[in-house]
Structure 1
Amino acid sequence: DLKTLLASPENLILLPELLIAAFAIKFGAALVFKPAFSWRETFAAGALLSARLSLIIAASAIALDLGVITDAVNTAIVLVAIITVTASPILFDFLLPKRAEARRQGVIIVSSRELALALAKQLAKIMPVTLVTRFPFRQADLPDPNIRLVQGDARDPEVLRRAGAHQAAALVCLSGEPLFNEQVCKLALQTFNLEHVVTWQPDEQHRLDELERLGVKVIYPGMAMLMALEGSVLFPESFDVIAHQAEDMELRQVRLRNRRYHERALREVRLPGDVLVVRVQRGEERIVPHGETALQLGDVLLLVGSPAFIEDAVRILEEEEGI
């Protein structure tokens, strides 16, 4: 009953008094969080706790029926509930704005075998690479000066943390010891939540089924050879780009984050230079794209084109501020 509340100055003063009390009580209670959190986080918790709605309105209605409070007090309490439930999340967002999640990037290669060094050299052309090895190794022995070297046992979480596992996009473990590979892969998945973990198993008689169930991509030499041979026959041009790493052509995988291209047909997406989209992966579905293929946020696109134009295309497609 707003008329009752507005009938006198005494009733009007009741509303701000109740609001101040509602926030003060909850902000005071939130101080118990201070030993574990910052002041900003503590006050943000107080803001969330200040929201009131159904319980306080029900209690007020009962009190009004019992004659304990007047219509003016009941109206003030209902308004306090409405104001706090509206203002609290706004105040929370102001005190504790969302932090943009740091995008993972780069790859960690665990091993100093020739195969690992060759892979590191190739990947260092397009992304940050960190090499982790248990054995004596010098920075000068690395095939590319941009490769970062971390020495230590990758089964130790602190070693992987020094290698940047909390920020890396992928980890490849290429030790000749299957048990070592298994332990490192599990650590990468379970402790550092790495999305892309790859290892190999030279002995194809002993498949790493448990790792595959966990989501680790396991490469078996025989399978890799078969795929390479099949690719060279079915897709000779693409295979040539991959196998010979031509200086004027590059393949790159990118996740679509630019909202500008969500639900847009591929023919409407103007990519720089000679860059083409040759495959789209949407969850478990692999799509051979054509002009009418509608892109969706989160799609993983396989691009092919000149290195300089590829970089521009990746930047455009990954840009999160698209309209």
Structure 2
Amino acid sequence: MNNYGINSLAIIALMSFIIPFVSAKSFKGMIPSVALEIVAGLILGRSGFHIIRTDIPALEFLSMFGLIYLMFLSGLEVEFKEQSVSAKRFFHSPLFISTLIFVFTLSLSYLFSIFLVETFHFSTSKIYLALIFSTTSVAVVFPTLKSRLDLKKSYRQILMTSALIADLSTLFMITVFSLLKENKYGIVNFLMIFILLIATFTINKIMRFLADNRWINKIIHSIKYKNDIQVAVRGSFAILFVFLYLANKFGIELIMVSFLAGIIISKTTDMESDIIKMKLDAIGYGFFIPFFFIYQGAIAVMPSNIQNIIIIILIIVIGSFFIKIIASLPLKILFSLKDTIAGGILLSGRLSLIIAASLIGLKLGIINEEFNSAIIILAIVSSVISPTLFSIIKKQILSSHSSKIIIVGGGRIGSDVAEMFSKKQKDVVVIEKDKQACQKLEMKNISVHCGDGSNVEILDKLKPKKYDKVLLLTNDDRTNIKIAGIFEERYDITQLFARDNEPKNRKLFKENGIVPLVYTEQLLKTVEKAIDSPTVFEFLNESEKAIRQKTIENLHGKTIEEISTKYTFEIILIKRGKKWIYPKNDLLLKQSDIIIFIIDKKDEKEIQKLKF
């Protein structure tokens, strides 16, 4: 790379650092950073001051990899839920309504494409233009809906599913169209597409099997937490590049296979995928993705006849919004007209995929540079307007009362959590069926209702509102899920959090919209580090609580429940030989068991006097 390349690279890197601050400070975060990145590229590139050079192969490669990596991260957002739907409810299911919306979108897009081609003559394929306008953006839709817990769960589900189906379907169709256009229509090429689709889900199954294999786990565990190795990130990139190699070998579009590679990583175990996603997001949004958007702005060429391009952009923007709003009419089956229009506007948000589709069309000679520039402008405008208009139409209703924190389960953990929130002047109420525990909570001046958390008569007395937050801290996952269902169905509460007692039940938590509060493995790893590393142990004990371990001698044959009622500490894990055990109430302790427990520091001296 020559000096011009280094200079351009430095400018792009500097812009990618400055733009988020501009977005947050000047536009209050209402305009996405990516939109400003494209605008910065337009100003500094071929359409502006020519400061960023666009004729350097290394920069072109980095930009292309930024697009590939963006589609890879889009695949990470995909969540497939295997839920059975009865024939009677199928026509009201998210899958059916979302598919209907996509079919309508594709049909209307084709009619719009006929008008554009015959009027402006900037494309040789009406079908490909229809695919471009059928795209949406998971990157716009998902974050907008995830931040709106006040919306109905079914409404959010359908809009998310619609965005996902639009992205997956158009990706697949663009890939097939590209093969046909480039005369790569041999049976091997088409078979490879389906092989990769099958491989995506097969590899996922294999990874889940390996995750449960004790021998494999032992090998991975020995290196997975070493900072100088980052085996999970290496594995993610290995999968991505193997898929890219196969795509390149058989002439398949790289953006599709990178999306599939992302799906594979998204389907690893929940806890691990959260950590991996954070690391991969940091790599992508830290450099490669802003590089792509700035560079695309830089290579875009605004035509000399600016009046003509403004007319074209206005027609394309208005037409693209009109298509999605009309195509979203199936939402009226379940929701109001206002909800239907708002949903159509949100689905009009287009960003990464429409730019990718436009670039492929430019490469294939289907569209010209003028139209590609118009598409980039459409991406900027729609990514700003669609979530903003959606928020205006579906204005977030703020609660007229201060939201409560409802805690179900007032044992040791529930009591500590309630006390913590109470000290912070939060409105806390606890439901606990044990009378002694209720009395202890009352002595701490914490509002408590003594009874079963699944008893609707008790719940009605609390007068729960949809903006309240519910913490389910019983030691039984099934009970927590049952109570969560009551709060959601009876009181329309969606902010549900629960103690994660059994890792195998996480799938049920996810299906029921419950956020797990504790990952047992994560706790186990924290405790292991605390025991093995004195510095970490000291760090963990900087609060009012302390983590300690003791070897059992005199408590042999006692149950966890008996100990919990007698002592003031909370047992969090038990080590029996080489095996870690999660403490359930009916678990019998054995001689030489090592218990790991949390205790108030003020009670430590009393505990030291006791013989375990």
Specify the TM-score bucket, using the shorter chain as the normaliser.
0.3 to 0.5
Higher relative contact order (CA 8 A, sep 6+): 2
- The structure in which a higher percent of residues are helix is 2
Q: Which has the higher strand share?
A: 1
Greater Rg by CA = 1
